């Protein structure tokens, strides 16, 4: 006999109101506050309530640190968007089994652009007149300081200011300056595309060229003159490496490795798991040989 027992009703999922994202501005975001709708379209996975908490602090940071044009704001949002999972996380999630005392001299990444090491915490604290040392380091997870510290890193700690490279639409340089390499690079590019669209960079009256926000090249970047960055470009694009966050591409890997060998005399220390510059050079030469054979 067929059971007549009724199945329990599932709780209805609350309907998420995304209509706030649809409001459109008539001018680009130069020299004005970013709106909630624009932030919502940039961070499309984040809730209205969460965005509302950050919006005034982001606009304050933009004003304070001269992140005052639409393209500067778009690049800043692309980087902090990836670093925080679209404003979800304000401190670094450590690998399983690792405690904060085991990394970065006991000062893990905190803030929208994750500041690390005690020297970084102390330097920022000195700039704003606050103590972020020892048991006070968790204050960098407060929205106010998490946001402001990112502006400080962007415009004060980094020399020259990353605004210089945002003006040139150079996400390759900016990513390696913040990350040290290219972890999450593809995600940063995707967020940049949404930010540029939301902030109407394409109709900016101060720009007379059409910019591409989906494809970037090492050769066109200031990073092309940095040996670390060139090697990292090769390594992260190399299908034979375990680095992630970039779609593997042998041709792009070759470009990075070959450029690194042109700059190899500038490499003074080992990086990215290679203990010595000689090890990096040997790896680049080996991978160029293998990747070139694969192309033929």
Per-residue model confidence as pLDDT tens digits over 3-28: 455 555 555 554 567 888 888 888 99
Task: Considering the domain delimited by 21-90+145-215, tell me its CATH architecture.
Answer: Orthogonal Bundle (1.10)
Whole-number mean pLDDT of the chain? 93
Helices 143-152/70-83 angle, 10° precision: 120
Q: Where are the alpha helices (DSSP H) in the chain?
A: 36-42, 48-64, 70-83, 117-128, 143-152, 163-167, 171-179, 185-198, 227-237, 250-262, 277-295
Reply yes or no on whether the pLDDT at 231 is more than 60.
Answer: yes
Which phi and psi angles does 110 have, rounded to 5°? -140, 155
CA distance 42 to 74: 9
Question: What are the structural domain ranges in the chain?
Answer: 21-90+145-215, 217-296
Q: What is the pLDDT of residues 141-169, one digit of tens each?
A: 999 999 999 999 999 999 999 999 999 99
């Amino acid at each position: 006999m067929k059971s007549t027992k009724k199945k329990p009703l599932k709780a209805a999922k609350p309907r998420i109101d995304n209509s706030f994202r649809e409001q459109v501005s008539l001018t680009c975001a130069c020299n004005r506050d970013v709106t909630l709708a624009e932030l919502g379209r940039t961070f499309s996975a984040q809730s209205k309530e969460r965005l509302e908490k950050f919006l005034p602090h982001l606009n304050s940071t933009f004003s304070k640190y001269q992140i005052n044009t639409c393209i500067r704001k778009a690049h800043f949002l692309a980087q902090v968007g990836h670093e925080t999972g679209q404003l979800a996380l304000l401190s670094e999630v450590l690998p399983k089994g690792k405690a904060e005392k085991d990394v970065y001299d006991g000062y893990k990444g905190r803030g929208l652009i994750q500041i690390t090491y005690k020297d970084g915490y102390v330097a920022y604290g000195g700039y704003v007149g606050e103590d972020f040392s020892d048991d006070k380091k968790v204050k960098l997870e407060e929205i106010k300081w998490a946001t402001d510290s990112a502006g400080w890193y962007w415009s004060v700690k980094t020399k020259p200011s990353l605004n210089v490279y945002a003006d040139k639409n150079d996400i390759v340089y900016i990513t390696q300056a913040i990350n040290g390499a290219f972890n999450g690079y593809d995600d940063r590019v995707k967020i940049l595309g949404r930010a540029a669209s939301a902030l109407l960079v394409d109709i900016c009256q101060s720009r007379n060229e059409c910019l591409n926000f989906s494809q970037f090249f090492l050769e066109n970047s200031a990073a092309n003159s940095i040996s670390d960055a060139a090697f990292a470009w090769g390594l992260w694009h190399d299908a034979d490496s375990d680095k992630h966050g970039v779609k593997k591409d042998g041709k792009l890997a070759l470009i990075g490795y070959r450029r690194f060998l042109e700059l190899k005399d500038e490499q003074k220390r080992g990086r990215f798991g290679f203990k010595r510059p000689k090890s990096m050079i040997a790896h680049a030469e080996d991978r160029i040989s293998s990747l070139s054979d694969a192309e033929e």
